[in-house]
Structure 1
Amino acid sequence: MGRLIHSALSIILATGLVACGGSGGDEVTENASINVGADRDAVEKSELIINAQVSPPGGTFRWQQLSGPAIEGLPSEEQELALMLPDVKGDRAAQIKVDYRAPDNTLVSDTLTINIASANQLPQIAIAQIAPEQLPSQYNDVVTLSAAGSSDPDENGFIASYLWQQTEGPQLQFSAVDEATLSFRHPLLDSDTTLAWTVFVSDDEGGQVSTEYSLLLNKTAQVVIANAGDDQQATEFDTVTLNAGNSETVSGQFSCYWQQQSGSAVTLASERQCETQFVAPDIDVAQQLSFSVRVSDELNRSASDEVTVSVQRRALGLINDTGMSACFNNSQAISCDSTDFQGQDAQQGRDSVAQRLDKVGKGDMAFDFTKLNEFADELPDSATEFACVRDNVTGLIWEVKQANTHTLPNTDLREGQNHYSWALNGEGGVLIGSERAPANSSCPSDVDCSVQQYIDEVNAIDFCGGANWRLPTYVELLSLVDYQRHGQAHMISPDYFIHTPSVSLLGHLNYWTSRTSVDGQSLSQAFIIDMSSGNDLAYPKDNTAYVRLVRNP
C-alpha cells in the first residue's frame, strides 16, 4: 500500500510544470514554462523593455503582435525585447504573444497586453491680418483675419477645426466662423472702434486651445451712404420699383425722400418710403427718367444718390386689339388673375394697358379714333356731323356712311344700306373672278353695282379730301371689330361708324375685303367679315355685301 502512494506522488511531481503569464494563457507541459509578466502601461513613442522568463533555458523564442497599433521591433526571436511604441491618436491597447520551444522540443506560450497612452501636445495658435493689402483698412474694404498659421507640435498631428467668436464691437456679417480665415466688410464708423474675438483651435486628437485677438478699425469719413439702386430698363406702362434699402448708416436705421429729376412726370406711390413704385409713362420715343433719394440717419446726417430708369416704347403693334376687357373660363367671366385660363386677350396687347394709353382721340378700350370733316380736318369728339374717321393706331382713314333715308335703288351714293358684288381692278386690269351686279339693283349706280364702280364714283368726288379710296384688306377691316360688343347689333363702334345698316343681308352684316379666297380652282370667292358676329367667311363674288372704304393719309 505504501508503495502505491509513493508512485502516485512521483507521477504528480513529474507532471506539475506550468507556464505563468499576465493573461493566464499558458500551456501545460511536462518540462517547460514561460512568463512575460503582468500587463504593462506605457506612453506613446517611448521604449519598452520586455523579458520572457523560461524554464528550462536554452530554447528558441518567437514574438508576434496579435492586435493594436503596429509596434516597431516585432516580430522578433530574442528573449529580451526593446520595443519602440507608436504614436497613437488617443489611448490604445496592443497585444503581443511569445512562443517558446524548449530544448526537448516542448512548445509553451504567453501573451502580454500593452496599454499605450497618448501624449498629445496642444496646438500653437498664430493669427494675422492678411487683407486688405494696404493698411489701415477703409470703408467697404474686405478685412480678412487668418489663423491658418496655427500648428500642431505632434509629429503627425494636424489642426482639425477653428471657431471664431466675436466678443466686442458692432455686429458684422462674416464669411464663416468655422474656417481658418474670417472675412468681413469694413463698416461705417463714426469713431475708432475695437473689434475682438475669442479664437478656438482644435487638433486631430481633440486638444483645444484658445486666445483673444483684437483689431482697431478707423472711423470713416462718411457716415451715411445713400444707394438708390442700379439703373433700370423698363417698358411704358410697366410698374417700376425704386429701392434705396441697401443704403447704409452707422446704426443701420435711416429714412428716405425721393424726387424725380427729369423725364415725363410720374406719380410715386410714396415719396417718403425707401421702397416706392410708379407706372412708366406713355411715351412716343424712348426716354430716360432720373430720380434722386436723400437718405438720413437718426441724427439727421444725410447723403444723396440718383438712379436712371430708361423707358422704351411698348411693342403694341400697328393694328388695334380685340377690344376685350374681361377674361372667361368655359362658361362665364372670371378674374384675369386666374392661373387656370392664362394668356387671354384682356391680359395682353393694347387692351391690357388701355387705361394708361395717351390717346390722340377717343374710343373704347385701346381704340383711338378722331372724327374728320369733308376736308379731312380734325373735329372735336363731341361733333355729331362728320364725314370720315381716322384710326390713330393704324393711321388709316375710314369712310363714314350717309344716313339711310331712301329705298333701294333710289338711295344716295354712300348710304350704308347699299351693297355690291365683288369686282376689283388690278395693275393688269380686272382681277380674276370679278363679278358685276346689275346697275340699279342693290345700289344707285347706272353702270353696275360692283365694288370697283363704287370706288371709282367716291374717288371722283374727292371724298373727305382724298381720291385714293380702296377696299380694305382682311387685316385692316378686322382691326375695326370690337369683340367686347359681342351680342349687340354690330361689333363696330356706333359712336364713330354711324349709319351702319339696321337691316342685314340674309341675317348678316357682311362687308367685303380685298382678299380673294384661294380655293385652287375658280378664284370665285373673296373673304367677308360679318360685323354682327365678328366671323369671317369665303363668300361668292357674285353675291352682294356691304362696303366700307378706306384710304391711307
Structure 2
Amino acid sequence: MKPLFMVLPLFAVLTACGGGGGNDNPVVAASVFAGDDQRIIEKSEFTIEAKGSPTDGSFTWQRVSGPIIADFPLVGAQQTITAPDIKANSELLLRVSYQTIDGQLVSDDLLIEIESNNQLPQVIVTQTAPETLPSDYKDIITLSAASSIDPDENGQINSYNWQQIVGPTLAVDNNSNATISFSHPLLDTNTLITWLITVVDDEGGESNTQYSHTLNKTSEVIIANAGVDQSVVELDKVTLDATASETVTETFKCFWQQTAGTVVLDNQQQCITSFTAPATEAVNTHTFEVTVTDSKGRTAKDSVDIVVNSKALGLINDTGMSKCYNNTQEIACTSTDFPRQDASVGRDSGVGSHIEKVGRGEQAFDLTKLNQFADELLDSAANFSCIRDNVTGLIWEVKSPNTGTLPNTALREGQNHYTWYLTNEDGVQTGSSPGTPNSTCPSNSNCNLQVYVNAVNALDYCGGTNWRVPSYTELLTLLNYGKHGQSILLDENYFPNTPNSNLLADGLIYWTSQTAVDGTSLSQAYIFDMSDGNDLAYPKSNTAFVRLVRTAGATQ
C-alpha cells in the first residue's frame, strides 16, 4: 500500500532578528507503510511488516474486515499470523496505525487475499442390511454412504446422490438420502448391480465412486398373486385383481378359473376382472384360481376366496332412495368417491332380486291393508282401516276422510290436531300441555294426545286397545325420502286422507312420543314434517297432527 502522510497543524517558526536566522529543529510529517498486498492459502503462516517515519514510533495492527483472527489487535511492526480456516475465498483487510514519539498518528491498510484450500470428501459405501448374506427374494437391502468423510477439520458432507448404472431398475426409496433401501427382486440369474454415488461437502467439493454388488437368482421366477381374500354382500360388484403378481420378464398374462361356486366372470383372460355376488340366504364361499404366465411361457398359480354374505336387512325400513348422488347431482351408485349410499345397500337395493314381499308398497316398503277387525285385505281394496308394516311388524292408523270444519269433525279425521299431553305409569309426563276442548278436535274434554289415544283404544279399533303415539324411530320408518320434492313423503295409496299442509303454520307436522331434552323444562317434543322429512323440537303447547301406532301381537 502507498504510505499515508499527515500534515500536522504546526508551523515552523521563522524569526528575523537583525540579519535573520532559522529553526534548528523543524517538525517532520509522519508516514507509515503497511507493506504490499499479499495472496496466501488458508491455515498457512504469513508475515506482515510495517515501516514508519520518523523512526522510534509505535505500531498497532487491527482487523478491519474479513475472517476473524484471534489475538487482534497486535502491537509491533512485524507480525507472524496463521491464516484462518475458511469455506470460500475471502479478503482480509488489516490496518496498521503508527504513532510517533511527538504524538503524530498515521495509518495504512493491507489487503490479504486468502484462498480456500478445500480437501475433497472421501466416499465410503457399506451394505448394512440384511445382516446375513446373500439376500433373498423380498429382502430389504440397505446401502449406506453415511460413513463418507470430509478431511477438512471442520468440514461436513452436505448432500448425497445415488444413481444406478448397471442392472435391472430397482425401486429406491429416496436416492438423495445417505442410505438407500430397495427390495430384492425376482431374478433368474445372479445379477450385478452397480451404483454411482456422489457426495458434496459444505464447500462445494464433489467426489464420487462406483459400488457394485451381486443379487443372487431366486428359486422362483414367477409369483402369482390372486389378491387378498374378500368378504362381500350379495349383489355387490366384486373385483378380482392379479396385477400384484411378479415375473422376471416385463410382461405377463392371466387366466381365471372358479374352483368353488358358480358365478359368471366378466372376462377370464384379464388380470383384473369382476362379477356380481349372487343372491344367497346363507354364507357362501367362492374360490377363484389365477394362472399367471410370463413372456417365456413359465407359469404359476394362486387362489383367492370370496365369502358372500346375505344382506343384513333387519327389521327397519330403508329410506326409499333409489338413486345415488354426490354433493350436487346424480351419480352412478358404483362411484368410489361416494360409496355405500342407501340406493346400493340395504333393503331398497334388493328389490326385484331376492326380497319377497308379503304385501305391496313403494321400493322395499312392504305394506298390507287391514279391515276394522285387523283382517288382511287385497291390495286392491278401496276401503281399509289400518296398515300393517310387514318389515317392522307395526300396525298404523289410517285416517278417516275429512267431513267437516273444525271442531265439527269426526274423531279420527286427519285434520284434527292436538297439544302434546301424555301420561305413563308415573302420571302426567313433564311439560305436558292439556289443550282446549272443542278447539282443534271434536272433544268435549281436551284436544290433547292422551285424550285422543284413550278415545281410539275405547273403540277397540282394528282389533286392538294398545294404540299409542309413535316413537321418533317408529315414525321415521314411514318416510320415503325417494319422494323428496313431492307434497308428502308417504305412500298415499296406503296412507290417504292427508290434511291440508296449509292448515298449520309450521307445515305437515306430526307428533312423536319423544320429549326433546331442552334443559330442565322438558317443554318440547319431536315432530316430523311429512312433506320434507325434517325433524324439529316443537313446543308441547303448540298443536300438531298425529298418526297412532300399535305393536301387532302385543297385549290387546
TM-score by length of 1: 0.62
Q: Which of the residues 341, 345, 349 maps onto 1:352? A: 349
1:122-176: CA deviations, max 9, x gaps? Answer: 1111111111111011111111111112111111111111111111111111111
Identity of aligned pairs, percent?
A: 43
Distance, in Å, in 1 between the alignment partners of 2:479 and 2:76 is 113
Corresponding residue for residue 138 of structure 2: 140
Residue 393 of structure 1 and its aligned partner are, at CA, apart by 5.7
1:296-321: CA deviations, max 9, x gaps? Answer: 11112122222233334333222555
Residue 43 of structure 1 and its aligned partner are, at CA, apart by 0.7
Specify the SS of the correspondent of 2:109: strand
Compared CA separation, residues 260 and 28, structure 1 to 2 (3 A): farther
Distance, in Å, in 1 between the alignment partners of 2:284 and 2:160 is 55
Q: Which of the residues 23, 27, 32 maps onto 2:6? A: 27
Compared CA separation, residues 117 and 346, structure 1 to 2 (3 A): closer
Q: How does 1:445-460 map to 2 (within 5 A)?
A: none
1:168-194: CA deviations, max 9, x gaps? Answer: 111111111112112111111111111
Would you say 1:298 and 2:295 are equivalent positions? yes
Q: How does 1:57-456 map to 2 (within 5 A)?
A: 57-263=55-261, 265-318=262-315, 325=322, 335=330, 337=332, 349-357=346-354, 359=356, 365-366=363-364, 432-433=454-455
Contact 2:4–2:31 (8 Å) recurs in 1 = no
Compared CA separation, residues 337 and 537, structure 1 to 2 (3 A): farther
Corresponding residue for residue 403 of structure 1: none
Compared CA separation, residues 314 and 100, structure 1 to 2 (3 A): same
Compared CA separation, residues 362 and 286, structure 1 to 2 (3 A): farther
Residue 279 of structure 1 and its aligned partner are, at CA, apart by 2.4
Compared CA separation, residues 228 and 360, structure 1 to 2 (3 A): farther
Contact 1:239–1:280 (8 Å) recurs in 2 = yes
Residue 289 of structure 1 and its aligned partner are, at CA, apart by 3.3
Corresponding residue for residue 12 of structure 2: none
Residue 220 of structure 1 and its aligned partner are, at CA, apart by 0.8
Compared CA separation, residues 135 and 23, structure 1 to 2 (3 A): farther
Residue 292 of structure 1 and its aligned partner are, at CA, apart by 2.3
Contact 1:241–1:275 (8 Å) recurs in 2 = yes
Contact 1:481–1:491 (8 Å) recurs in 2 = no
1:359-385: CA deviations, max 9, x gaps? Answer: 488977547899xxxxxxxxxxxxxxx
Residue 281 of structure 1 and its aligned partner are, at CA, apart by 2.8
Distance, in Å, in 2 between the alignment partners of 1:274 and 1:204 is 51
Compared CA separation, residues 392 and 227, structure 1 to 2 (3 A): farther
Residue 238 of structure 1 and its aligned partner are, at CA, apart by 2.3
1:53-100: CA deviations, max 9, x gaps? Answer: 122221211111000001244211122100111111111000011111
Compared CA separation, residues 366 and 44, structure 1 to 2 (3 A): same
Distance, in Å, in 2 between the alignment partners of 1:55 and 1:477 is 113
Specify the SS of the correspondent of 1:133: coil
Specify the SS of the correspondent of 1:149: coil
Task: Name structure 1 gaps, 5 residues minimum.
Answer: 1-21, 329-333, 371-389, 398-419, 423-430, 437-449, 457-469, 494-500, 507-515, 519-535, 542-548
Compared CA separation, residues 358 and 219, structure 1 to 2 (3 A): farther
Code of the aligned partner of 2:294: D
Greater Cα shift, 196-205 or 252-261 = 252-261
Specify the SS of the correspondent of 1:268: coil
Contact 2:4–2:106 (8 Å) recurs in 1 = no
Residue 517 of structure 1 and its aligned partner are, at CA, apart by 10
Compared CA separation, residues 26 and 291, structure 1 to 2 (3 A): farther
Compared CA separation, residues 206 and 286, structure 1 to 2 (3 A): same
Distance, in Å, in 1 between the alignment partners of 2:353 and 2:365 is 12
Code of the aligned partner of 2:157: I
Contact 1:282–1:358 (8 Å) recurs in 2 = no
Specify the SS of the correspondent of 1:272: coil
Contact 2:3–2:33 (8 Å) recurs in 1 = no
Code of the aligned partner of 1:318: L
Contact 2:253–2:293 (8 Å) recurs in 1 = yes
Contact 2:3–2:31 (8 Å) recurs in 1 = no
Compared CA separation, residues 28 and 231, structure 1 to 2 (3 A): farther
Distance, in Å, in 1 between the alignment partners of 2:302 and 2:124 is 43
Distance, in Å, in 2 between the alignment partners of 1:362 and 1:300 is 59
Two-structure CA RMSD over aligned residues (Å): 5.0
In the comparison of the two structures, how many residue pairs are matched? 418
Specify the SS of the correspondent of 2:348: helix
Compared CA separation, residues 483 and 77, structure 1 to 2 (3 A): closer
Residue 216 of structure 1 and its aligned partner are, at CA, apart by 1.1
Corresponding residue for residue 428 of structure 1: none
Compared CA separation, residues 275 and 361, structure 1 to 2 (3 A): farther
1:189-224: CA deviations, max 9, x gaps? Answer: 111111112211211111111112211111111111
Contact 1:167–1:197 (8 Å) recurs in 2 = yes
Residue 451 of structure 1 and its aligned partner are, at CA, apart by 5.7
Residue 240 of structure 1 and its aligned partner are, at CA, apart by 2.2
Contact 1:234–1:309 (8 Å) recurs in 2 = yes
Contact 2:234–2:309 (8 Å) recurs in 1 = yes
Distance, in Å, in 2 between the alignment partners of 1:309 and 1:473 is 46
Contact 1:175–1:182 (8 Å) recurs in 2 = yes
Contact 1:48–1:84 (8 Å) recurs in 2 = yes
Would you say 1:37 and 2:35 are equivalent positions? yes
1:504-552: CA deviations, max 9, x gaps? Answer: 999xxxxxxxxx998xxxxxxxxxxxxxxxxx9758x9xxxxxxx9879
Contact 1:72–1:84 (8 Å) recurs in 2 = no
Distance, in Å, in 2 between the alignment partners of 1:482 and 1:129 is 67
Contact 2:90–2:114 (8 Å) recurs in 1 = yes
Specify the SS of the correspondent of 1:150: coil
1:213-238: CA deviations, max 9, x gaps? Answer: 21111111111111222233323332
Code of the aligned partner of 1:38: D
